Amino acid sequence: MRLTKQLWIVVTLAAVACATNPVTGRRELSLISESQEIEMGRQASQQTLQSMPEIPEAGMKALVSQMGQRIARASERPNLPWEFHTLDDPSVNAFALPGGFIFVSRGLLTHLNSEAELAQVIGHEIGHVTAKHSVSQMSKAQLATLGLGVGSIFSGTVRAIGGALETGLTLAFLKFGRDDEMQADDLGFKYSLNQRYDVREAIDVYEVLQAIGSRARGKLPEWQSTHPDPGNRLTQTQQRIAALPAGSLTGLVVNEESYLRLLSGMVYGENPRLGFFRGTRFMHPDLRFEWSLPNGWQTANLPDAVVGQSPQKDAVMQLQVSQTAAVADALRGFLSQQGIQQLSAGTTTINGNPAAIGEFDAQTQSGVLRGMVAFIRYNNTTYGILGYSSQQRYASYQNVFRASIGSFNQLTDAAALNAQPARIELVTLPRDMTIETFIQTYPSSIPAQDVMLLNDAPAGTSLTRGKLVKRVVGGVN
């Protein structure tokens, strides 16, 4: 059978671009060099840290970094420029970027109860890097893109749909598969054990994740939506423990109390100083502004934007900080973007603040969007507010967008300005008691079920005298 020229290119590249996987020892496709892997990871890491700060707790930051470095230096890829970061993010999450850049969220840290549990999480993320899961997926995506690119030279039909196909293939390939996740679990288990951490604590990690997932509370972009079901992981962990040689679990480290003390005073859940909602009214105490989205809309306060979506999911609004100071220049820059057609533009004031507002059409692959955009100068910062819908539905949202933009104003609500986050407080039990008695004796500002989850103490759990137990105090009601 004769190969076409295009296919020869793909086959030849696949044949020469192979590398040995440091974990498995097998030869596998690799179109990305280690230096490229590191550079991509470094850039993504910098972008992550620009959009989201790290926690202020120096002790916890040091523990995560020191533990991570110790595990990584004993792994199959010790010479990567490993970095370990703790994000001030309430979601229960951890993720690894190519080249050895690892992130653990505050939300996950507050739900762990020992160094041994943390070691399993960090070891898992290190496993993704040592097994080159990202590199493998990106190489597959590049190979698929190459095939489409060569084919599109000869086919008008392929050329027309090539962009959409490339995007879809990239997204599909870059999502870790279940086999990758299970391998990362296995590596995390091995790495933890090698550092003499008690791997039985991994069971508690998956029990907590399973409970969080079943209640559908919090944002779980990594540990729920892309990771295997925690119940399956729990079973796999129990099987790994059962398969260990006799005596291998003797003298292992847990370090529960020292870990818990690092959580004392840490913010729990959303930090209102970074902005919070009351209904659809968004208030930002530190930046001293408020903005109202339409009633009934779904809302979210993201690291770099405040967003809302209509109940019918046919309209969106978002607020972001603009990099352009002058409102007229910011509007001009937005309306001059490729694919944007200006419908109107002008300057005005909104609640005494200089502003520029325009309307536009935007050509997209799925049709024409019509929207309204405003830039408002307030307290030496320029804020951009964008609202858009389909061209056909815009008329029904035009006044809604205008009213929402007009609601941007100085925050004067004293309670909102003084809002403080909920924080973890540790209690040393003076006597034996159940978790229910603890909750009654030491009330928290969060529901009882959340206190149980925070301590990995289901209903009926007996707590012993002298044990450190977490509760949550304060916060916005």
| Residue 371 or residue 14, greater confidence | 371
Q: What does the alpha-carbon distance between residue 333 and residue 345 come to, in Å, rounded to a whole number? A: 12
Q: Which CATH superfamily is domain 273-417 in?
A: Mog1/PsbP, alpha/beta/alpha sandwich (3.40.1000.10)
pLDDT for position 232: 78
Confidence of residue 146 (pLDDT cuts 50, 70, 90): very low
| Residue 157 or residue 389, greater confidence | 389
* Region 468-472 average pLDDT: 98
* Region 259-275 average pLDDT: 96
All residues at 6 or more sequence positions from 369 whose CB lies less than 8 Å from its CB, including other chains: 361, 362, 388, 389, 390, 391
pLDDT for position 281: 97
Angle between the N-to-C axes of helices 34-51 and 133-152, in degrees from 0 to 180, rounded to the nearest 10: 100
Q: Quick: pLDDT tens for 405-432.
A: 999 999 999 999 999 999 999 999 999 9
* Region 322-343 average pLDDT: 95
pLDDT for position 228: 53
| Residue 51 or residue 61, greater confidence | 61
Q: Which amino acid is at 50?
A: Q
- Residue 122 reports pLDDT greater than 70: yes
- Residue 272 reports pLDDT greater than 90: yes
* Region 86-92 average pLDDT: 92
Domain boundaries, the chain: 7-242, 264-268+421-473, 273-417
Hey, CA dihedral for 223, 226, 230, 235, is it positive or negative? negative
pLDDT for position 177: 66
- Residue 85 reports pLDDT greater than 50: yes
- Among 69-73, 258-262, 302-306, 349-353, the minimum mean pLDDT is found in 302-306
SS3 316: strand
pLDDT for position 356: 98
Mean pLDDT score of the chain = 84
Angle between the N-to-C axes of helices 178-194 and 202-215, in degrees from 0 to 180, rounded to the nearest 10: 140
Hey, CA dihedral for 72, 73, 78, 83, is it positive or negative? positive
Confidence of residue 102 (pLDDT cuts 50, 70, 90): very high
* Region 8-31 average pLDDT: 52
pLDDT for position 220: 39
Q: What does the alpha-carbon distance between residue 206 and residue 408 come to, in Å, rounded to a whole number? A: 43
pLDDT for position 187: 94
pLDDT for position 148: 31
* Region 339-344 average pLDDT: 95
Alpha-carbon distance values, 27 to 16, 18, 24 (Å): 11, 6, 9
| Residue 477 or residue 39, greater confidence | 39
The single-letter DSSP state of residue 315 is: E
> For the purposes of burial, counting CB atoms within 10 Å of the CB of 217, is it exposed (0-12), middle (13-18) or buried (19 or more)?
middle
| Residue 264 or residue 41, greater confidence | 264
- Among 56-65, 223-232, 264-273, the minimum mean pLDDT is found in 223-232
Confidence of residue 230 (pLDDT cuts 50, 70, 90): low
pLDDT for position 28: 60
Q: Quick: pLDDT tens for 372-399.
A: 999 999 999 999 999 999 999 999 999 9
| Strand order across the beta sheet in which 101-105 lies | 83-87, 101-105, 94-97
All residues at 6 or more sequence positions from 102 whose CB lies less than 8 Å from its CB, including other chains: 68, 82, 83, 84, 85, 94, 95, 96, 122, 125, 126, 129
Alpha-carbon distance values, 290 to 25, 282, 413 (Å): 56, 5, 9
pLDDT for position 389: 95
Confidence of residue 20 (pLDDT cuts 50, 70, 90): low
Residue closest to 8 by CA, chosen among 147, 165, 148, 153:
147
